[in-house]
Each structure stands twice: as C-alpha cells, then as structure tokens.
Structure 1
Amino acid sequence: MNSASATAAPSSVDLGNVKRLPILISLIIGAFFSILNETLLTIAFPELVNELNVTASTLQWLSTGYMLVVGVLVPASALLVQWFTTRQMFLGAMILFTLGTLVCSISPGFSLLLVGRLLQAGGTGLMLPVMMNTILVLYPPEKRGAAMGSIGLVIMFAPAIGPTLSGLILDSLSWRWLFYLVLPFAVFSIIFAFVYLKNVSTPTKPKVDILSIILSTIGFGGIVYGFSSSGEGGGGGGWSSPEVYGTLAAGIVALLLFVWRQLRVKEPLMDLRAFRFPMFTLTAILLIIMMMTLFSTMSLLPFLFQGALLLSVFASGLIMLPGSLLNGLISPLTGKLFDKFGPRALVIPGTILLTIVMFFFTRVTVETTKPTFILLHICIMIAISMIMMPTQTNGLNQLPSRYYPHGTAILNTLQQVAGAIGVALFIGIMSSGQEKFLLDSGDPTNKALWPEAMVAGVHNAFLVGFGFAIIALVLSFFIKRTTSPEQQDNTNK
C-alpha cells in the first residue's frame, strides 16, 4: 500500500448492527431537495428580472454561482469526509442548505438572494460526496447496485423534475414559494437524520495541503465558471469575452498544476491514482458523456419547444414530465438488475437506445407532434438511467476501500464540469446553426423563419450529441463486471 493511499483508510465502525434503510432514507430526503434547487429557480428568471430590477446577465449569477460553488467544493470533499464523521458532514450540509433556503425566501433584493443561493450550493456540494461515500461503506458490492439506484433517483430525477415543478408553482404563486415549500422538507430532513443517521466511518484526519486546495479551487472553479459563462453569454461576448477565455485559461493551467501535485505529494487532496483501475477510468469517460447528454438535452429541448413550437414554459415542462418521472421510478430497478446481471446487460442496451434516440432528435421538425417528443424524451431518460448509475457503481466497485472518498470526489467533480461544458457546447452549436440558417436565408430579420432556424440549430447540436452517443456505444462493449482487490483477496483465501 502506498503512503498516499493510507490516509484514506476504510471505516473501522462495526456495521454489523447498523440499520441501513433509515440511513439511506435520510440521505435521499436531504439530497433530493438540495439537488432539486439546481434547476428549480431557472424558470423564474424572467419574473425575477422585473421584480429585482436587474439585468438577465446579472441574474444569471444565481445559476452560475451555484454551479461554481458546487464545482469548487466537491473536489475538497475527499479531504472533508476523512476529517469529519458521517453525521457531522450530512447535518452540516443540510443546515447550511436550510439556512441558504431561508435567506432566499426572505431576501429583499438580488444581493441577499445570491448569498442564499451560494449557501444552498455549499450544502449541495458537501451533500453529494458524503451520500455516495456512505453507500460505498455501508453496502457490500453485491448489494450496492440497488442502493446506488436509489441515489440515481435523486441525482437524475431531482434536477429533471425541477423545471416542471417550478412551472406548476409559479403558475399560481410567487417565486418565493419555490423556497417556502422546500424549507419544511429541509428541516424535516435534519430532524430525521439527527434521529436515525449513524456514523459509518471513522475520521483519519490526513494532512491538509493548502496549495492543492488553492489549485483545485482555481482549476475547477475557473473551468466551470468559464464554460457556464460562455453558454450564457458571459461578459456580453460569449467565447470572445476576456472574462470567459481568461478564466478558462487560468482554470486549465491551475488544473494541470493540481494534477502534477496530486501525483507527487504523499497525502493528495484527490488521489488520481484511482485512474490506474481500468473500469473506473472507463466509468469516468462514460459519465462525462452522459452528463453532457443529460444537461444539454434539458437545455436544448426548452429552446426547441418555446422557440420553434411556440409552447409556453409550463407546457414545455409537461412534455418533459413523463420522462422525468419514469427516470426516477426505474433508477432503483436498474440498480437491482445491475446486482443480478452485471453492467453489460444494462449499459450496452442503454447506449444502443441512446444512439437511436439522438439520431431521431436530428430529424425533428416544427411539424413533429407532441406525443413524439414525449416518447423521445422518455426513451432518452430511460437510456440514461440504464447507463449512468450502473456504470458508476461498477467503476467504484473496482476501487480498494481506501480510494472511496477520492473516487466519489473525482466522479462528482466530473459531473459538474461535464454539465457546464455540455450546456455551453450544445447551446453554442445551436446558436451558431441558427445564425447560419438565417444568414443563408437572405432575410435574417424575417421572424417567420425563426422557428425553422431554431430547428436547424437544434439539429446541429443533436448531431454532435449523436456522435458522442456512438462513442459511448463503442466504449460500452469494453465494460465488464468488477470486484475490488479486497474481494479478490477474500476469494483467494
């Protein structure tokens, strides 16, 4: 065992008498409402622009700032989960999130609302790693799929249902109710966890490498902020803005230095030696593709529905509701199927379905019927649920237990970075295709052509997504069921 890994010792807590179900319920309740807030507020932006008297670019900080804080905190979580107990991490995260929700609900203006959102993001950034790390410690590999499937219900279902739920609330209530309604559930989660959540890990308190924390903050923060800002027209100029390419350049340089340092220090903040395990590396690549697909689809379809089909925000949310609900319902089922049949039985059919659906999205038109869009969205959400959590569980299963904090931190960080890159990339492609269509038409100011231009831009974006799906399909044939070195040692004895 190398010294770099020794500090991430597995739990020494006796898990024989620990009741797993109450702990799992505690994690799911808290994580659902914290992750839900990533997409819950976005649909209220038009109303907030008028009510708070700020510009759209300023208001976008409520979303960009949220992603930025989560992107910065998650890499440091590998250290935090080794310094604090399960209860301390979870309760601390939920208290921080609840405080942020309260601040948002009573904020009189933009500044305090932004402070509340950043506090919420801090709770969410701490919640994700402690949730996954607890599952890895609490459940043996042969039962991990079902538990991770329940976590998948939260990670994918919560942000997917956010716009629909938000549209329903805003249809009759003010934007503050987006926080009022979450607050009692957050308080309940704290009380439930205080009663039922038990510690499943023992803090080892490794050395704190301040330089690694600084490089991680600049690296991941710069990349997430740069890509998020480019997709939102950050600085008023998109990719041409110094704010965008400057932060991206700083982020990339800092990230390269961060990687170099992690491979040299004895007690790394994020142990990148986890990539020595091939199934974990394959998981990381597939996860990047899936998160880009998920976040880009969630971003592109509202543009298509509202810009080309001229539907209302609420109607757009209703079209995406069946797929979102089904995604949440079948995530635990795919986890159980993973435990029984392994990853290949789910991931290969899932990537085939994903490839087919992405191809059909490149063929949609303004005449495409709403039931067709509902069916396509259902299929893509099923495909993602068949791929993401089974792949993630399989990759983490190959890691020795001392790598659990680092493995979960790596994958959760990649989710945030891939989400930011996916939204920026696909919206950028869509916008470029839309502009090209209007210029080629000879009459770019003709509003009658705008729906067709939107469809043309979406076609280009989904064509790139189709290419990513083909890559995922090829990679899926290399996946195989894994066991950790500890399991192999026990089998050989």
Structure 2
Amino acid sequence: MAQALNPNFDWEPEEGGANKWLVLISIMIGTFMASLDSTIVTVAFPKMMATFGVSIDKIEWVMTAYLMAFAVVLPSSGWIADRFGHKLTYILGLILFTVGSMACSFSQNESFLIAFRVFQGVGAGFLTPVGMAIVTRTFPPRQRGLALGIRSIASAASMSLGPLFGGYLVDNYPWHSIFDINIPVGIIGIIAVVVLQDEYKSHIKEKFDIGGFITMSIGLGALLLAFSTGNSSWNTGGWHSTFIFTNFFIAAVCLIAFITIEMNKKHPILNLKILKYHNFGLATLILFIFGVAFFGNSFLLPLFLQNSLGYTAFQAGLVFLPVGILQAFVAPLSGQFTDRFNPKIPLFTGAIILGITMYLFSFFSLQTMHGQIMLPLYLRGLGMGLFFAPLSAIALNDIPRPQLAQASSLFTTVRQIGGSFGIAALGTILTERVKFHAQIYSEQLRQGSPQYNQVMDHLKNFAMHATGSSSINGQHYAKMMLLNNIKSQAYVQGINDDFLIGAVLTFSLLIPMLLLKTRKKKLNR
C-alpha cells in the first residue's frame, strides 16, 4: 500500500517465531469478524426499521457508514502498522471492532447505531490489510499462496454464514444480538494475537499523508451524504435544496484537493499515479462499477424476502448459504484457469452470469416462488467465483513489484467505496421509484368502474367474515387492504427497478473488459 504495507521491507519469515499456523488461525478470527459484519446486518434491517420507526433511506446508513469507514481507514492502516507495529495495530483493530460492537448493541436509536458502526468500520479497516501483511510475513514464499487461500476461506464463509447467523439471532433474540456475538469472539481474538504473534516494525519511516487523508474523508463523506439524502423525508427541498448543493460543493472542492495532493506527494495515502497502467486503470474502473451494482443491491433481497414474501429472518438468511459455498468451490478453479489460459474467458463468463442474475431478480412479484429466488442465487455464486480471480490477476500482472502493495491498497479501497456509493445511490433510487409506482397504481384506480366495485365488494365481504364487523367497517377495511396492496406492489416494483439498474451496470462492464490486454504468461508475483 502507498501508506499501507511497505513494499520495500523483507518479506522473509522470521526463524524461531510463533507457530505460523496458529498465527494464521488468529488472523482468520479477525478476518471472519470483519467480513461477517458487512453481511450479517442485512437480514436485521426490517426489524431495525420497525424498532426505530425509520425508512430504508435512513437504515441503509447502518451498512454505508461501516463500508465508508472501512474504505477511508484501509489505505492508512499500513502506515500505522509500519510505524507502531503490525501486532499492536491488529490488536487495536480488534479492540475498536469489539468495543464498537458493544456500543452498537447498546444503541437506543438509529443515529447512535450508525455512529458506532463507524467504529466497527475503522476496526475492520485495520484488520483486513494488516492481517494479510502478517500472514505474508509469517509464511515462506512456497507456502504463502496456501496460507492466503486458507485465510480467504474466512471471507467466503462470512458471505453464507453472515445472513444465516444473523437471521437465526434476529428471529430468536433482539436485533442487538447480531452485535453481541462479536464481543466474546473479539476477546478471544485479542488474547490469541497477544499470545501467538510476534511484533514487527518497519525500519523505513515515512511521513503520514494527513492532507490526503482529511480531504479524502471529508470529500467522500459529503458526496455520500448528498446521494443518500436527496429524497429523505426531512429534506423538503429535495435535490435542489441548499443542503444538497452545499454537500456537493464541499465534495468537489475536497476531491479536487485530494487528487492534487496525491499527484504531488512523495508518499501519498493512495498512489493515483499507478492508474496510468492500462490494465490496472481499466480493472479499477470495472471494480468500482461492479461495487456500485453488486454491493449496492446486497440489502435488497433480504428486504424483499421478509417484507414482501413474509420470510422469517432465518429463512431469508438461509437462501444465501449456497452462494458462498459455490464461490469457494469455483474461485480456485477460476484461478488455475487464469494462470494457464486467457483470464478474460472466466472474467467475461462471470460478468455475463452476474448480469443475468441481476436481470432475473428484476422480475420479482408478490407471487414469486422459492425456486425463482434460488436459481439466480446459484448463478450468483458461480459468477462471483469466476469473476474476481481473473480481474485481480489482469489488474496486477503488469504492476512493477515495488508498487504491488500500493496497487492492492487502491484496488481494495475502490471496491469498498463503490459498495458505499452503491448502497447510498440505489437506496435513494428505491425510495423514489416506490413513490413513482405507488402514484401510477393509484392513478390507475378508477373508482366507480365495475372492476373496482367488484374488487371492493369481495374485499368487504372477506373483511366482514374475517373480523365479524359491520358493512361500514367492512368497507373501511376493504379500502385499507387495497391501499396496502398498492404499497406492496409499488415496493416490489421499486426493488425490481434497482435490480434492473444493477443488471445494466453489470452488462456495461463488458465494454471496458474488451479493452483489457492479456498475455499468456504466469504470474511470478
């Protein structure tokens, strides 16, 4: 990383240190926690919305704040690790994450919950890159690929187990339990790191890019705030309000300043100059758009399953189980194919499959059957397993070795930022499209028409028999049921629109993919 994992230090493992496999286990604890908390909260959204009495445009910040803090801290984590020690920094990440989890559990309103999710995100921003550096330093070159592959199992497992664990906890306990579960695991992780790991500090000292860090943090925060609050109920001026214009102005000024600082800094927090490499620049653009399309839609399916189809939180989490399993099975095969043949083949195949899954999701209705949900999810697991390995290989293949850590830092940061913007933007679009469809459906109701009277008579008779009410009350219940049905239909259509946007964005990735240049040579990095 630019100010992350120092590319110049000696990566040879230290002789006589702690047992390397026990060190790997201690790292996997933190990796699993950090990855788990980006997926476990999605199935709890409906209960949180009901508890706090808020809509999706507010509760989406529970995930957006976490991903944004993760992305902002990630590039600077390596500088902190090199300066103060890898072991100490990893322990700091575990402490922040565990304390943040405890604070989230005690939150009495959505604002405190969102604020404490930032603490969790900061901790996760330390755990992921520093954990990879510790594994790389601990294992000799001949075992690093195996060790990093085993470490990645923790991330893949969280994709399946996160919604499953979260669903079980939300169904049987208060929503706070999805954060309580992190506390004992975090404590175990801290003890394991203290006992098992050896400390390492880099001998190379660089000045921290404070200007780049501040301008990036403020700029991205202001831009996210503008995108996510354009249609909020409190923002009566909408997209033309002074608040929105002010945030866009602050974002523009800060991001221009950030780019200027990074292009002229000797040791920038994000080395933007490596975007000049053809494949890396295109792959970074692909990853950002994919982050918007895929991670931006990640919260929609649990909402649809629970709010529209009546699934329990556990049932909603259970449908995601095959995704991580398929991805974990396919990803190594995709990596082997990438090493031996043209990596664009699995990359294109994965992108097309993922686009098809988004397109299939855009046909949801209140009558959607379980099989219609599972087929696209099976395809999603297959597509994700095919997509990431070749994209990473193509992106990093032509990067000079001294800049590999910097490129990896930028690559990971862009993915997190894309996910944050996707959740903010698609959450706003969902709110707007639900209003649009509700208005269209309401306008299509022709009161007094034979069809309208026939439907109202059936609903009134049903209400009278079900509740034992009078004809007047039955008429009132009939209108309520009709209006609720309109809201439910509009909600599903809004979700379908978001998935359709995701499909279009995913298929659009095929254009920059065509411009990627590949050579049949094995990676030696």
Q: TM-score range by the shorter chain?
A: 0.7 to 0.9
- Conserved? CA contact 1:38–1:66, under 8 Å: yes
Give the AA of the match of 1:86. Answer: H
Residues 58-457 of structure 1: pairs in structure 2 closer than 5 A: 62-77=62-77, 79-105=79-105, 116-133=116-133, 150=150, 152-155=152-155, 157-158=157-158, 161-198=161-198, 202-230=202-230, 239=239, 242-332=242-332, 334-339=334-339, 341=341, 343-441=343-441, 442-443=443-444, 446-457=483-494
Q: SS at the partner of 1:15?
A: coil
Give the AA of the match of 1:354. Answer: L
- Conserved? CA contact 1:43–1:163, under 8 Å: yes
Counterparts in 2 of 1:261 and 1:48: CA distance versus 1, 3 Å: same
Distance 2:283 2:140 in 1: 19
- Conserved? CA contact 1:223–1:417, under 8 Å: no
Distance 1:469 1:100 in 2: 34
Deviates more, 1:221-230 or 1:178-187: 221-230
Match of 1:460 in 2: 497
Q: Does 1:12 align with 2:10?
A: yes
Distance 2:211 2:223 in 1: 18
State the superposition RMSD in angstroms: 3.9
Distance 1:397 1:139 in 2: 22
Q: SS at the partner of 1:208?
A: coil
Give the AA of the match of 1:471. Answer: S
Give the AA of the match of 1:15. Answer: P
Counterparts in 2 of 1:316 and 1:117: CA distance versus 1, 3 Å: same
- Conserved? CA contact 1:434–1:456, under 8 Å: yes
TM-score of the two chains, using structure 1 as the length reference: 0.82
TM-score of the two chains, using structure 2 as the length reference: 0.77
The CA deviation at 1:259 is 0.8
- Conserved? CA contact 2:87–2:197, under 8 Å: yes
Q: Deviations over 1:111-143 (max 9, x none)?
A: 875664333222112223324455666789998
The CA deviation at 1:33 is 0.7
Counterparts in 2 of 1:234 and 1:196: CA distance versus 1, 3 Å: farther
Distance 2:521 2:95 in 1: 36
- Conserved? CA contact 1:234–1:243, under 8 Å: no
Q: Deviations over 1:228-270 (max 9, x none)?
A: 4458768577645544443343123211211111111222222
Counterparts in 2 of 1:426 and 1:66: CA distance versus 1, 3 Å: closer
Q: Deviations over 1:126-185 (max 9, x none)?
A: 223324455666789998776655555444653564333212112222334323322222
Counterparts in 2 of 1:299 and 1:334: CA distance versus 1, 3 Å: same
Deviates more, 1:383-392 or 1:229-238: 229-238
Match of 1:476 in 2: 513
Q: SS at the partner of 2:264?
A: coil
Give the AA of the match of 1:327. Answer: Q
Distance 1:262 1:169 in 2: 44
Give the AA of the match of 2:484. Answer: K
Q: Deviations over 1:23-67 (max 9, x none)?
A: 44333221111232234345445655777x786687766444434
Counterparts in 2 of 1:225 and 1:333: CA distance versus 1, 3 Å: farther
Counterparts in 2 of 1:190 and 1:231: CA distance versus 1, 3 Å: farther
Give the AA of the match of 1:480. Answer: T
Distance 2:357 2:506 in 1: 9
Q: Deviations over 1:373-419 (max 9, x none)?
A: 11101212321232124422442343334324432332232122211
Counterparts in 2 of 1:246 and 1:140: CA distance versus 1, 3 Å: farther
Distance 2:139 2:415 in 1: 23
Distance 2:245 2:198 in 1: 45
The CA deviation at 1:90 is 1.7
Unaligned runs of 5+ in 1: 489-493
Match of 2:468 in 1: none
Q: Deviations over 1:205-235 (max 9, x none)?
A: 2122332222122123323444344587685
Counterparts in 2 of 1:68 and 1:473: CA distance versus 1, 3 Å: closer
Distance 1:8 1:231 in 2: 43
Give the AA of the match of 1:475. Answer: P
Counterparts in 2 of 1:58 and 1:427: CA distance versus 1, 3 Å: closer
Counterparts in 2 of 1:177 and 1:427: CA distance versus 1, 3 Å: closer
- Conserved? CA contact 2:293–2:503, under 8 Å: no
Give the AA of the match of 1:315. Answer: Q
Distance 2:29 2:318 in 1: 24
Counterparts in 2 of 1:398 and 1:154: CA distance versus 1, 3 Å: farther
- Conserved? CA contact 1:156–1:328, under 8 Å: yes
Counterparts in 2 of 1:69 and 1:430: CA distance versus 1, 3 Å: closer
Unaligned runs of 5+ in 2: 446-481
Q: Deviations over 1:65-109 (max 9, x none)?
A: 434432332233353344343323222211222232344445677
Distance 1:139 1:238 in 2: 54
Give the AA of the match of 1:403. Answer: Q
Give the AA of the match of 1:465. Answer: G
Select the structure of larger CA radius of gyration. 2
Counterparts in 2 of 1:417 and 1:15: CA distance versus 1, 3 Å: same
Distance 1:193 1:481 in 2: 41
- Conserved? CA contact 2:292–2:421, under 8 Å: yes
Distance 2:54 2:334 in 1: 43
Give the AA of the match of 2:518. Answer: K
Q: SS at the partner of 1:171?
A: helix
Percent identical residues: 25
Distance 2:110 2:499 in 1: 35
